[in-house]
Amino acid sequence: MRQAEGQSLFKELARQSDVVIENFRPGTLEKWNCGWEVLSALNPRLIMARVSGYGQTGPYSQRAGYGGIGEAMGGLRYIVGEPDRPPSRVGISIGDSLAGVHACMGILSALHYRERTGVGQMVDAAIYESVLNMMESLVTEYDQLRHVRERSGAILPRIAPSNVYPTRDGIVMIGANQDTVFARLCTAMQSPDLAADSRYKDHEARGTHQQQLDAIIGKWTATFGTHELLELLEMHGVPSGLIYRTADMLDDPHFAAREAIVSTPHPHFGTLRMQNVAPRLSRSPGSIRTAAPEVGQHNEEIYRDVLGLDAATLAAYRAKAVI
């Protein structure tokens, strides 16, 4: 892309493509004479998704942007972790993934628009805005109430009971904060009077006495084995479950029945297990057809079959490191 021949190849591909996706720092493609204005002039139906830390415009657009920085600026890092220590990370690069999901949503919307109008457009997906979009009513709470969400560890403040509780041999997640579900939990605990107790009778009261209620439930759950407790809670219709590790997922019959994890052949590793396509579509379900390609694996197929380049031209481009 830094060479004139590479730029010409790229433009020819863009001329025949539905979508171009890029995640350079804003202005990089323009520097190579391959920006949105140039490409859309070549192909008015083109959709171009541009993923960056801070977006294509604004005073921060030229800053280097990684997922973790986007999580911090978007408000996620501040509320993750225990209240008595600095913010923690989520455990995965969720900012990058959310930016990809939002870029995908933008592309799909642009494809629908193109179906109606015949015209493509540019999709500007910023990591920090993708994180911000997931932050529920955080902005509105501050705007209307000057309320700032703080780190709260395993609980959601004033949402009770919804926590991880101990068993004799492990832990179980229970979510019973809705009034009717809490009543079912109390029945399972053989403490129906708890649901009528003025401290726990409704959502607001349970939120006020959250710590006391969690202590009562934790004392009860600790008398059961994990699977014994899960069976009891399921019998009473109380949402509950294990905190799964990867090994638990691979052994779980529900994951197997829905083929949530599939195997795919790989030229170096033999077989790889990975997540299947989600969500599920009834008429056109997706599938994992191959492992991720090696860099340049499909060069010849694309340049020969799409652009019509012959072997001698490809060899010359390789010699000059254009491809």
Are 226 and 257 spatial neighbours (Cβ–Cβ below 8 Å)?
no
Fold matches, 4-136 and 162-243:
no
Position 168 scores a pLDDT of: 98
Q: Classify domain 162-243 at the CATH superfamily level.
A: formyl-coa transferase, domain 3 (3.30.1540.10)
Position 314 scores a pLDDT of: 93
- Nearest-angstrom CA–CA distance, 149 and 75: 10
The residues, any chain, with a CB within 8 Å of residue 23's CB and separated by 6 or more, are 50, 51, 52
The torsion defined by the Cα of 161, 166, 172 and 176, in degrees rounded to 10, comes to -10
Cα-atom radius of gyration of the chain, to the nearest Å?
26
Q: Which of 96, 179, 214, 305 is catalytic?
A: 96
Position 186 scores a pLDDT of: 98
What is the domain partition of the chain in residue ranges?
4-136, 162-243, 244-292, 293-323
Nearest Cα neighbor of 123 from 144, 102, 143 is 102
Is 252 catalytic? The answer is no
pLDDT tens per residue across all 323 residues of the chain = 999 999 999 999 999 999 999 999 999 999 999 999 999 999 999 999 999 999 999 999 999 989 999 999 999 999 999 999 999 999 999 999 999 999 999 999 999 999 999 999 999 999 999 999 999 999 999 999 999 999 999 999 999 999 999 999 999 999 999 999 999 999 999 999 999 999 999 999 999 999 999 999 999 999 999 999 999 999 999 999 999 999 999 999 999 999 999 999 998 899 999 999 999 999 999 999 888 898 889 988 999 999 999 999 999 999 999 99
Compute the C-alpha angle 182/173/275, nearest 5°: 130
Count the Cβ atoms, other than its own, within 10 Å of residue 310. 9
Position 296 scores a pLDDT of: 87
> Chain-centre distance of CA 304, in angstroms?
36
- Cα dist from 121 to 48, 62, 102, whole Å: 7, 22, 15
Position 295 scores a pLDDT of: 87
The verdict on domain 4-136 having CATH code 3.40.50.10540 is: yes
